[in-house]
Homo-oligomer: A and B are copies of this chain.
Amino acid sequence: MKRDPRRAVRAPVARLRTVGVIRSVLKALGKAPRQGAEGAPDAWLEVRPWAEKALRGLAAGDQIVVITWLHRARRDVLEVHPRSDPRNPLTGVFATRSPDRPNPLGLHTVTVRAIDGTRLRIGPIEAIDGTPVVDIKAVWT
């Protein structure tokens, strides 16, 4: 069977697994700050029990990058008016931090406030309640 080159480039490269979920007082997108530094609250990151060993060595006070899957974002958007302000010129999503993009990954640099088993208290973070977490990385300072 002949391979369609257009299909090939759009083919999924990989499937993400949820390693955790955000539990936040932010319940709706409209009320969430656009970035963590803009008055976002702390939240809980509940890590799945099967991934518990991956937390070994993390401690309160650490800086981490949390990568979320922005499940409410649109994947068919390639250009936006930054910060949803029509006065801002139309800009490619790769030149912005818009949540709308082909793979809506969110990057959040946060501080670990406390650890309770597989639950991390982290912040500040603008992700809404129920946002899936797909990776956690150390930040080197």
Contacts and interface: CB of A to CB of B under 8 A. Distances in A.
A39 to B, nearest CB: 16
A138 B65 CA distance: 16
A46 to B, nearest CB: 11
Copies in the complex: 2
Chain A's interface: helix, strand, loop or mixed, by majority?
mixed
Contact of A13 (B10, B62, B65, B69): B69
Given A14-B16, A57-B89, A94 B137 contact: yes
Interface residues of A, number: 51
Given A57-B89, A67-B105, A94 B136 contact: yes
Contacts of A64: 94
Given A107-B137, A137-B97, A140-B97, A102 B54 contact: yes
12 contacts: A9-B49, A13-B69, A14-B69, A15-B16, A19-B103, A54-B102, A56-B90, A56-B91, A58-B92, A94-B136, A103-B134, A107-B107
